[in-house]
Amino acid sequence: MKIVKILEQPVRLKSNISNALVNFSTHTVSVVAIVTDKIINGKPATGLAFNSIGRFDQSGILRNRMIPRLLSAKPGLLINPETERLCPAKVLKCAMQNEKPGGHGDRAHAASALEMAVWDLNAKLEDEPAAITIARHFGRSLAIPKISVYAAGGYYHEGQPARALQDELKGYQDSGFTMFKMKIGGAPMDQDLKRIESALEIGGAGENLAVDANGRFTLEQAIAYGQAMTPYALRWYEEPGDPLDYHLNRQLADAYEGPLATGENLFSRQDVKNLLMYAGMRRNQDIFQMDPGLSYGITEYATMITEMEKNGYDRKFAYPHGGQLMGFHIVAGLGLGGCEVYPGVFQPMGGFQDGAVIENGMATIPDAPGFGFERKSNLAVPFAELCG
């Protein structure tokens, strides 16, 4: 089989929200389609994906660097000879041809979209959900049929009073979620603590609520929040400091007894190795949130999980960032701890397929082939436009 064309288009998200550092009203994501010469149901078999959420579209890198490399690859270079299908690792390697080491930022997000589209394609060729293709590829007997999910929200909406947070969480609860995540660090600490207490009135126990500072705090601020939040016994305390400040994380881990979570802004295996080596992350307690949709795709992400396990960390403590369908299938396929979901924000990318049922905080993977973007009606639109 061969690639006939590769399409890319930036999509503007509908999100007038802010975390402690960033307003998302201008945020974009690249949707991509790898169109092949195989035919499924009378149409060219096509792999779809996007570069997760949070780091902008990568049109320039995709169109000027990576897509031309793939389209000019020698015949067979991208194919797994055993399966006669496109090989995600070979596609990634070709997309990264002649790129220097280090600097794992935007290009990692760009490459992710391409690599992930190969998984969607291969699952569609098998007429199975991507979770099953992923599980088989990595030698896992079965994808998990139900995965643990939590609703990520609690942003600082413009002009919205803090009390509205309760309505938001109640809405998630009514949809079947039992665990929630909210933002902190975008308001003075006393206000944030009140917001947390409001949220706990809905969520119940602290183990149902995580908080996310989005990398804003100095060590002193991180420790002050940690001390103030200790009585709540929260599920986790996410990204207190700069994501690359391993020393801060280690010092905070010494000072804060509860679980910490980080990793969504680390995009390569080597960065994760450094996190494991230097940041004081505690086994069977702290949470790893690397996002395969931002990190060169599943090929590289799987090596991050291997690094975790080599160092005695359990993959059940991996909860990928992203909150979209790709993460859902990856959690199920790789047997990870659980999955973030954005049920209300970052549309049309955030959340699962239409009519997805969440029961007691668990979700069943959709039976559509591939990642199942076609079953999420608002997300199907930009993909349909992309493919013409």
Catalytic residue IDs: 183, 321
Among 126, 128, 242, 374, binds a second copy (CB under 8 A): 242
Point out which span in 15-23, 155-163, 188-196, 362-370 binds a second copy (CB under 8 A).
15-23
Polymer length of the chain: 388
What is the nearest approach in angstroms of a second copy to the Cβ of residue 162?
23
Q: Which of 9, 36, 46, 58 binds a second copy (CB under 8 A)?
A: 58
Site for a second copy in 268-297 (CB under 8 A): 268, 270-271, 273-274, 277-278, 294
Q: Taken in order 295, 301, 303, 306, is the CA torsion positive or negative?
A: positive
Smallest separation, CB 100 to a second copy (Å) = 6
Q: If binding is defined by CB under 8 A, does position 10 make contact with a second copy?
A: yes
Per DSSP bridges, beta strands 260-262 and 79-80 are unpaired
Q: Does 106 bind a second copy (CB under 8 A)?
A: yes
Which residue from 104, 124, 181, 329 is in contact with a second copy, where contact means CB under 8 A? 104
Task: Kindly state whether residue 102 participates in binding a second copy, applying the rule CB under 8 A.
Answer: yes
Q: Which helix or strand (DSSP H or E) is residue 106 part of?
A: helix 106-126
Distance, in Å, from the CA atom of 354 to the CA atom of 366, rounded to the nearest integer, reads 10
In whole angstroms, how close is the CB of 278 to a second copy at the nearest point?
6
Paired sense of beta strands 180-183 and 85-86, if any = unpaired
- Minimum separation from the CB atom of position 371 to a second copy (A): 23
Among 75, 101, 231, 355, binds a second copy (CB under 8 A): 101
Min CB(154)–a second copy separation in Å: 17
Nearer to a second copy by C-beta: 49 or 147?
49
Residues 6 or more apart whose Cβ sits within 8 Å of residue 63: 8
Helix (H, G, I), strand (E, B) or coil at 67: helix
- Residue 98 has a CB neighbour count (10 Å cut-off) of 6
Considering only 129, 154, 243, 344, the residue that binds a second copy (CB under 8 A) is 243
Tell me the C-alpha to C-alpha distance, in Å, between residue 8 and each of 4, 110, 336: 14, 10, 30
Using a 10 angstrom Cβ sphere, with 0-12 exposed, 13-18 middle and 19 or more buried, the burial of residue 188 is exposed
The number of residues that bind a second copy (CB under 8 A) is: 50
State both tokens at 39.
Answer: 């035919």
* 243 close to 222: Cβ distance less than 8 angstroms: no
What region, left, alpha or beta, does residue 227 occupy, with left being phi > 0 and alpha being psi -120 to 50 degrees? alpha
Rule CB under 8 A: say whether 380 interacts with a second copy.
no
Query: Which positions touch a second copy (CB under 8 A)?
Result: 10, 21-24, 26-28, 54-61, 63-65, 98-109, 214-215, 242-247, 265-268, 270-271, 273-274, 277-278, 294
